[in-house]
Amino acid sequence: MRRSLYTVGTVLVMGAAAMAGPASAAETQSQASLSVLHAVPDLTVDVYVNGALTLDDFTPGTLAGPLPLPAGNYQLAVTAADAPDASAPVIGPVDVTLEAGGNYTATANLDAAGNPTANFYTNDVSPVEAGKARLTVRHVAAAPAVDVLAGGAPIVPNLSNPGEASLSTAPGTVSAAVAAAGTTEPVIGPADLNLAEGTSTIVYAWGSLEGGNLALATQVIEGLQSTPGAVPGGQSGLAAQSAENNDGAALGLGLGALLLALLGGAAVAGRRRTARA
Amino acid sequence: MHHQRKSFALTAASVAAGVLTICCSVSLWSAPAPQQGITAAAEAAPQRETVGPASPPVLPEANPTRKPTGAPPPPAPVLPPPEKIPVRPAKAAAEPPPVPPVSLDIPNTGISVNVVDVGVDKNDAMEIPNSFWEAGWYRYGPAPGSKAGNAVIAAHVDSQTEVLPFAQLRAVEPGTVITVGLADGRSLRYEVTEVKNVPKATLNGSEVFRRDGPAQLKIITCGGKWLPEKGDYEDNVVLTALPL
């Protein structure tokens, strides 16, 4: 199983998303968050962090974590599932730095040529604009450049392994597919993708085109929502006038609401009569 | 009552047709940390370049040639054991959407309205229904009946031409029992614990729109002084009620 190893792709960022935003509320500032995605087809592995067995019998298409870890330097290694220790990795060892408040995903995957490798992505956990969802797509498959389609139309063109792209979109369910760059004939999907408001959905295209096992993997980071900027509840000031009048008349008797109801009712009744007339 | 409400709606619609509605201006109470984002981006930029075997080893013990050393660095002190780490298929589990509220009734007031789903408008403010006899439920937050967080329902206090039922919100007494009807026919009851005026400038959005913590109902409209220069009320009236 050992082939050309020890390669970690440079992460290309096509989107304008800020990397490594502030930590979500659940994290303390000295902690980082690490998830691990297994995206090498047909290979069960063990994952070692700093030489310690951390994920045992980790299977393709599964996601581990998020693991809260103190910020600092770590060494990740992926071994065969029956390896006694981290001394003979099939991928790595890879040195990574986890910044305080950072959110990361390490992937064990295939490079574009089909060799097992690892990638280390920084997840954007900055707040998502109120009423929006964040979508990030990452190409970790043994396949050429692709277009990512939503509802049949390209939303991310020409994405190459190990690149990623990020965008902000309306929340809801989209029909997502992946096609060879410049085409619309899906090589993955279409599959329904639920993009919830205030969350970051990270979609990985993984597997091998040649192996016929291309697939999507999904990671969701919740709790990134923003709140609306205001609650605009009035339009003319009429309620304030009415309240002042009523307060003056009822003065502490608690009849303001009643008067208001009567006045409001009378006004509306008057208007109804007018409307009928 | 129902018939009456319909008539109201008719009146309202006819009024609305002739009037250009102007919403309160938006007051931004939460600056959602754009500066933080910029700072973080600036800091993170070099970080991407440090990733990978081409970078200098960050662990002193790490062998720069990347050959297995046989003497791995000592484990981090807080690394959890494998069985404690959540592992799941990398699939998004789409949770079924909550049952939305469709009606709101507050006894001893004229507040007996239909409730519709609303989101965020172009000014980053919560959408408020233009139909004068409707209130809006913030669909991105918890629904009434959710186990956690605040269900937020808001409505206009007035229109260009008349005072609306939500003008009575400020006078609702603690202990009043509110009824929220859901789309599946269920009715939920809430007991009012507090009604207060909060200056719009200081309204804590992350508290009002909280999605975790105790389940509460928040009913919001405008109140306080009308500020003609802003075309807006000074306050929000915020009613808090707890599920019964």
**Which residues in chain A touch residue B132, judged by CB atoms under 8 angstroms apart?**
none
Residue A252 — pLDDT band, cuts 50, 70, 90?
A: very low
Question: Which of A111, A188, A226, A231 would best serve as a mutation to test chain B binding (most B beta carbons within 10 A)?
Answer: A231
In angstroms, rounded to a whole number, what is the distance separating the alpha carbons of residues B36 and B38? 5
**Which residues in chain A touch residue B108, judged by CB atoms under 8 angstroms apart?**
257
| Helix, strand, coil percentages, rounded to 5, for chain A | 10, 45, 40
In angstroms, rounded to a whole number, what is the distance separating the alpha carbons of residues A176 and A183? 14
Q: Is residue B181 part of a domain?
A: yes
* Token pair belonging to B126: 């919560």
Q: Do B85 and A50 touch (CB under 8 A)?
A: no
Phi, psi (deg, nearest 5) at residue A9: -70, 150
Q: Is residue B121 part of a domain?
A: yes
- What was the pLDDT predicted at A229? 92
Q: Do A51 and B32 touch (CB under 8 A)?
A: no
ipTM of the complex: 0.73
> Residue B222's beta-bridge partner residues?
B236
Q: Do B123 and A204 touch (CB under 8 A)?
A: no
In angstroms, rounded to a whole number, what is the distance separating the alpha carbons of residues A61 and A219? 11
A197, A219, A230 member nearest B27 (Cβ): A230
Long-range contacts from B59-65, C-beta under 8 angstroms, 24+ separation: B59/A73, B59/A74, B59/A75, B59/A95, B62/A75, B62/A93, B62/A95
Q: Is residue B32 part of a domain?
A: no
- What was the pLDDT predicted at B95? 77
Q: Is residue B6 part of a domain?
A: no
pLDDT score of B221 more than 90: yes
Across chain A, how many H-helices and E-strands are there? Answer: 2, 16
Quick: pLDDT tens for A68-104.
999 999 999 999 999 999 999 999 899 999 999 999 9
Helix (H) / strand (E) element for A102: namely none
Q: Is residue B81 part of a domain?
A: no
**Which residues in chain A touch residue B221, judged by CB atoms under 8 angstroms apart?**
233-234
- Nearest chain A residue to B30 by CA distance is A229
Q: Is B18 exposed, middle or buried (0-12, 13-18, 19+ CB in 10 A)?
A: exposed
Q: Report the candidate in B241, B102, B221 with the shortest Cα–Cα distance to residue B165.
A: B221
In angstroms, rounded to a whole number, what is the distance separating the alpha carbons of residues A197 and A171? 5
- Number of domains making up chain B: 1
Question: Which of B22, B87, B164 would best serve as a mutation to test chain A binding (most A beta carbons within 10 A)?
Answer: B87
CATH of the domain at B238: 2.40.260.10
CA dist B72 → A23, A76, A95, B179 (Å): 30, 10, 12, 63
Rounded to the nearest integer, the mean pLDDT of chain B is 76
Q: Is residue B89 part of a domain?
A: no
Asked if B49 has any chain A CB less than 8 Å from its own CB, the reply is yes
Relative orientation angle of helices A238-250 and A256-276, to the nearest 10 degrees: 130
**Which residues in chain B touch residue A193, judged by CB atoms under 8 angstroms apart?**
92
Q: Report the candidate in B79, B229, B119 with the shortest Cα–Cα distance to residue A69.
A: B79
- Nearest chain B residue to A133 by CA distance is B140
Quick: pLDDT tens for B70-83.
555 554 456 788 88
Q: Is residue B178 part of a domain?
A: yes
The structural domains of chain A, with segments of one domain joined by +, span 31-221, 232-266
Quick: pLDDT tens for B28-57.
343 333 333 222 332 333 333 323 333 333
Radius of gyration of chain A (CA): 27
Rounded to the nearest integer, the mean pLDDT of chain A is 82
pTM of the predicted structure, to 2 decimals: 0.73
* Token pair belonging to A247: 């307060």
pLDDT score of B20 more than 90: no
Domain range spanning residue B134? Answer: 96-243
Place of tokens 């026919």: B185
- Nearest chain A residue to B201 by CA distance is A230
Other residues' Cβ atoms within 10 Å of the Cβ of residue A148: 25
Q: Is residue B52 part of a domain?
A: no
Asked if B107 has any chain A CB less than 8 Å from its own CB, the reply is no
Q: Do B40 and A18 touch (CB under 8 A)?
A: yes
Strands A91-98 and B112-118: unpaired
